[in-house]
Chains A and B, each alone.
Chain A
Amino acid sequence: MSASRPQPRGPVHAGAHGRTSGESEARISRGARVRGRITGTGDLVIEGNVEGDVNVRGDLTIAEGATVTSPSVGAGAVTIAGTLEGNVAATGPVRLAPTARVRGDLQGTQVAIDDGARFSGRLDCEFDLPPELGGSSQAETRGRASARR
């Protein structure tokens, strides 16, 4: 797939220092292809193809039609309507739109998956079960069998 736009190699810094569009967010447009690491302080919208770590302080949107392959995706709020292979660690909420195709683990303050989204991976929200079911969250992840008495 040859891109009509330049293909950045190596780390791409989005946000305050390296905006790819004139708006307050950084955008990797549909035909663009990035191989390498993306870091930034602002928001990031990915509409193209990205392979590599993604780490932004702001919100991340993976638009429908976009493809991201990444061992590690970090952001504030994350909205996914495209394809993602990789793990997400969000400091805010994570949301998979109906067109999302995600394979990987998701972590966030909350995770919502819309009906129709395809997902395969772990969800790790922080919460406690009621005391009748064992209470503390840590007990379960270490092995349900031992926690159940």
Chain B
Amino acid sequence: MASTIIGAGITIEGEISTDEDIVVAGTVRGKLTAKEAVTIEHGATVEADVQGSSLIVGGALTGNVTASERVDLQSGSRVIGNVKAARVTIADGAQFKGNVDMDV
């Protein structure tokens, strides 16, 4: 289980920073910075710049993403923003609009 879980229905407006991993099933507006893995679940809405070691997106994300390791956009995800990571996968069924920078 993740150290921090933002449950479905919960909205956080502001900045979240954590030394550990985080799972977002609800709504985050603002900024999200994690030292470990970030998971944005299907049904979640994130309008924020996101930083983490890795990022898995299953829901809606509007914002720029920076990951030290990898970013995976799953089928069903909708991402608008620039992605910067060493490895990026965009699954079939993912909607993505933005730049991808793998030159980390």
Chains A and B in contact, CB within 8 Å: no
Chain A positions within 8 Å of B, measured between CB atoms, are: none
